[in-house]
Chains A and B, each alone.
Chain A
Amino acid sequence: MKEAYIVSSVRTPGCRRGKGALAQTRPEELLVQALDAVIDRAPGVEKDVVEDVMTGCAFPEAEQGLNIGRVAAQMAKFPDSTCGATVNRFCSAGLEAIALQAMRIKAGWCDVAIGSGVESMSIVPMGGNMPRPHPEWAKENPDVYMSMGVTAENVATRYNVSREMMDEFAFHSQMKASNAKANKLYKEIVPTKATKYVQKGDTWVKESFIQDFDDGIRESTTAEGLGKLRAVFSATGSVTAGNSSQTTDGAAASLLMSGEAVEKYGIKPIAKIVAYAVAGCRADEMGVGPAYAVPKALALAGLKVEDIGLWELNEAFASQCIYAMQQLGLYDQRELWESTSDKRIINVNGGAIALGHPLGCTGAKLCAQLMNEMRERGVKYGVESMCIGGGMGAAAVFELCE
């Protein structure tokens, strides 16, 4: 099999649903800017060499429908010859898009392609505009439609993840993100042109501005403050808005190439994709997915947990992220993830609790974060992983190019 390389990898900032900076910017426009940037950051590569754009999106309907992968490619002025598709595996959709392109390259079916992800949770709500569970199936087996928050509660209660552990974990995520934001560590961010409509008297004026930071980070968060929040998914629960991921708008993209293409365009790639795996689990505790997907991907890569120098474990909920870390033997080594530790290698610049989780975009977004930090640190192996609604996990292993 051939190798598949990631040549450039970018993301827009992640901004809060509803009140955030990107709330009134159409998802196509976010995606177009990620597509533009990924080409800009690959000197010598023109848009016309890209064969296909694949876009992960968890709710590919309404403003995100009509095959947003193709629509955005056209809006970004890729030629007609550049194709486009939308792919959905919920929270891993963005990674799935990258993996699908990597597999096509590895199979020799393609040389240059983009894997991306987009989600405007402000514009298309989580669950979609018209959720329609199958009546007879849902009557007997509703688990597959279960609210993500309830599954997070299940993980917390079944595996004894305490409220204190979750709040502490959430606090560290916020502190890591605050540090990264202050020190401008998110080099993968594309300053993004956004629009908002401002009411002036009786009319609305469309205003444009540039957004270049994640606006959900809360520098002032304290463990005490998190402790005061009320559970939102259960009357007796422990999952709160503070120890769950934020619902966010954003887009991200990676440009992938075969070895031949890398040579042809004279580009130094960032990393190659070693392995990608998905693993299934019970739908009502979907958060445990990474605990199964990560070992599967590592086995494919012939690697062990200890070999991995950098982790991006999506923080859908603190409960499930902590559980996955426990299963991987990482949680008890607190120096690997605490904000105060220099040795930290897990979610080093914060995770979705601080930065947000734009569903279908997340897989592509974490890839951009991972690529940036692997290159910055010179880490050989990096892993990204996330849990997936319906009861799954996905994980990918990347190897830094020398």
Chain B
Amino acid sequence: MQRRIRKVAVIGSGIMGGGIAALLAGAGVEVLLLDIVPFDLTDDEKKDPKARNRMVETGFNAALKSKPPLFYDKKNDAPMISIGNLDDDFDKLAECDWIVEVVVENLKIKQQLFKRIEGIRKAGSIVSSNTSGIPLKDMSADLSEEMCQHFLGTHFFNPVRYMHLLELIPGEKTTPEVLDFVANFGEVMLGKGIVWAKDTPNFIGNRIGIHGIGKAMQVMLEDGLSIPEVDAIFGAPMGRPKTAIFKTSDLVGLDTMSHVSSNTYDLCVDDEERDTFIVPDFVKKMVENKQLGNKTKGGFYKKELTPDWKWARKVIDPTTGEYVDLDRPTFPCLDAAKKCATTAEKLQTIVYGDDKGAKFAWKVSAAACIYSANRIPEISDTIVEIDNAMKWGYNFEMGPFEQWDAIGVEKSVAKMEADGMAVPENVKKMLASGATTFYKLEDGKKMFFDFASNGYKALQTNEKAIVLDDLRANGKVVKTVPSCSLIDLGDGVYCIEFHSKMNALNGEMLDFMKEAGKYVEENGVGMVIGNQAGGMPGAFSAGGDLAFMLGLAKDGKFEEIDTFIKGVHEGIMGTKYAPYPVVAAPYGLALGGGCEICLSADRIVAHTDLFMGLVEIGAGLVPGGGGMIHLWRNYIESKPGAGKLTDHAGFFIQAFMCVAQAKVSSSAADARKNGFLRPTDRIVANKDNLIGEAKKEVLKMVDDGYAPPRKKKTEVFGREALGMIWAEMLNMSAGGYITPHMEAIAKKIAVCMAGGDVPKGSLVSEEHLMTLEREAFVDLWKTENTQKMAANIIKTGKPLFL
């Protein structure tokens, strides 16, 4: 029978349960969120359904309020979730296709719960545990054969919406059908990266992760480093998140971290690094003092208000357990690493340096590599699972084995041996076989070294999960310039890939896009505009290259700015009216020019985590790449043509506010609500599949018979919009809600989006609208205030409100 997930029960409404419920609701699945009836109810309250649901209601509300938001679209997703308690609503589990347990980490409680579930669940339904540490075999020891066949571990990471990793842990008896189904559901519907883990304590991500943290603390105390020193090394320079070791711990919570640590210590009695899991005394004391991190407003780091109302940053001194002033330490190796282009070069510079910091980095990284290799096959069959778990669950740019490749396996092994470290047997065997890297490309296929067979094996990937780096390595780049490339995706579809800093748009890209367009016109069937820059959430394109235009403005070369914008318009409209379909595949930041590129595409295939907006006003400008034209088009054309619009203001004000307030969407669903995405645009849950889905969309459009959009006039609000905006702007400025130059820019936005001084409901040409946009753009560059605002955002990254 075809398995379907129509309704899921999530049991436990804590931060993980709430996050899982929100994610499922976002995927369009009905959710039943349950928690216990509070123990401390009075006799009266025991009869009150609201009081009985107090626990789950608190959890649900926390999920609704969480920041960053756990929901993609609170208004539409939250009603998918109904709440209840484990006494009154337990029977409803019989309706569920999947039951996820996310209750407290206590074996007895979990065992009892699963026993109860066994009595009510419908045959064939999936039951899973989100435990992060308790062995599945202990939880399922007492359960029936049929339930065990449908029982597995589904381990999400916090915050559920944003962390890509989903560890799946098969039980001894789980059927392959169930495992395949959950993996596919997790990948396609929930957008997760699946890592297959074994039923060992803390599975993969947390086992390796907690070892890394433990090791860093151990060596820090031995070598006498400070917390900020450790974080300076193990942050961005090493391809790790900026929160590094200790800020990550503050984020997770010192109590949780200590719990995972001691759990590993208790359960992994044979672990060669067992001592690493002993929580250091100064951390134990902090946990006792309730200095748990961000949730208690103070952990390893904290901010203190000084008597003169300024925030002072403090950090724990591990030798005394007291807070001291935070400084920003550095080491020669870090300064040298700053000059390196790639993360691999940075890593080499740091771990092979000879200052105190470099030595620390080496000790801790080498230990991580060795520990990871020793965990195979204990926690995972291959190196790939460990690398993916660390990239997706801990936001490392590289997993331990990729990192090992980056610093050179032979070189590092020699150094390990020289330092008296025990090099894992499997790695020695690999080197002995002549293999010197964990990964390699062979005939265009990505291969990994498999310890079990002591040879390379092809990496299994989803067909939709196109990896541009692999295509690049396979010689699929058709054309390239420093900031972008045209890559052959196969089947006649070509991808324009940006690869500038933050993928900001520049003149070179514009020229390249015209050239690439020509190439696709002659050689291909369609185009995808997409890229795969790293980071969380990453940047599809964070905007336009302001410095170039600021330079022109400073030199008074306004004619050139005018010509430049004409070129931008030509490029944008060239893409729009190209004789082949163009699909944009934005994810993460798609701001300013990055947003405008998407708006001009035939279709957008967006990742769920899309932060899209026309934010030019923050730089003292109006959008100059047709953004206002296309955003207004999305509003006015989202209704049937026969519908007659009496009140254009109902549409105009919303569209205008998006630009004048530089609204940035909080998700793809939110971008749709604000008109950035059209009803025909698609939202894809899994970022890895984005380029593949965009390619699929191109091919479908070709297959269906593609004709470019016809040039037609746009209905505008015209002069009546202007009257409204002039009047309202007075209230804004009088109330001190808008600064004078911002007001001037907002008024220009109004003129552009209203179509200028024309009667209400006029049909105007695209050329007319482009002229308005260009004039506004050039006029603003002529003002000193816009030049100041642009200079400020270039320098500080923050808007200056003039």
Contacts and interface: CB of A to CB of B under 8 A. Distances in A.
A236 B736 contact: yes
Contact of A138 (B723, B736, B757): B723
Interface stretch (A63-71, A128-136, A222-230, A383-391): A128-136
Nearest to B646: A130
Interface in A143-198: 143, 145-147, 150, 153-154
Given A129-B647, A142-B729, A134 B734 contact: no
A234 interface: yes
A234 B732 CA distance: 8
B705 to A, nearest CB: 42
Contacts of A234: 734-737
A331 interface: no
B731 A233 contact: yes
B414 interface: no
Contacts of B736: 234-237
A135 B723 contact: yes
Contact of B726 (A129, A133, A233, A284): A133
Contacts of A146: 727, 730-731, 734
B734 A138 contact: no
A377 interface: no
Contact of B734 (A133, A135, A137, A150): A150
A200 interface: no
Interface in B708-756: 719-720, 722-724, 726-727, 729-731, 734-737
A152 B736 CA distance: 14
B648 to A, nearest CB: 9
Contact of B735 (A131, A133, A150): A150
Interface string A108-150: 0000000000000000000001111111011100110111001
A132 B723 contact: yes
Nearest to A143: B730
A135 B735 contact: no
Contacts of B646: 130
Contacts of B649: 130-131
Contacts, number: 60
Given A150-B735, A234-B734, A234-B735, A132 B726 contact: no
A153 B737 contact: no
A235 B726 contact: no
Contacts of A143: 730
Given A129-B647, A130-B647, A135 B722 contact: yes
Contacts of B723: 132-135, 137-138
A169 to B, nearest CB: 22
Given A130-B647, A237-B735, A142 B724 contact: no
Interface in B218-255: none
B730 A142 contact: yes
Interface string B634-647: 00000000000011
Contacts of B731: 146-147, 150, 233
A90 to B, nearest CB: 16
A153 B735 contact: yes
Contacts of A147: 731
Contacts of B757: 135
A234 B757 CA distance: 30
Contact of A139 (B720, B722, B734): B722
A117 to B, nearest CB: 26
Interface in B630-682: 646-647, 649
Contact of A132 (B720, B730, B737): B720
A137 B723 CA distance: 8
Contacts of A235: 735-737
Nearest to A147: B731
B761 to A, nearest CB: 13
7 contacts: A130-B646, A131-B724, A134-B723, A135-B719, A135-B722, A143-B730, A235-B735
Given A150-B731, A233-B735, 16 more contacts: A130-B649, A131-B727, A132-B720, A133-B726, A135-B722, A135-B723, A137-B723, A142-B727, A145-B730, A150-B735, A233-B731, A234-B734, A234-B735, A235-B736, A235-B737, A236-B736
Q: Which 7 A-B pairs have the closest CB atoms?
A: A145-B727, A133-B723, A235-B736, A138-B726, A234-B735, A135-B723, A133-B727
Interface of B: 646-647, 649, 719-720, 722-724, 726-727, 729-731, 734-737, 757
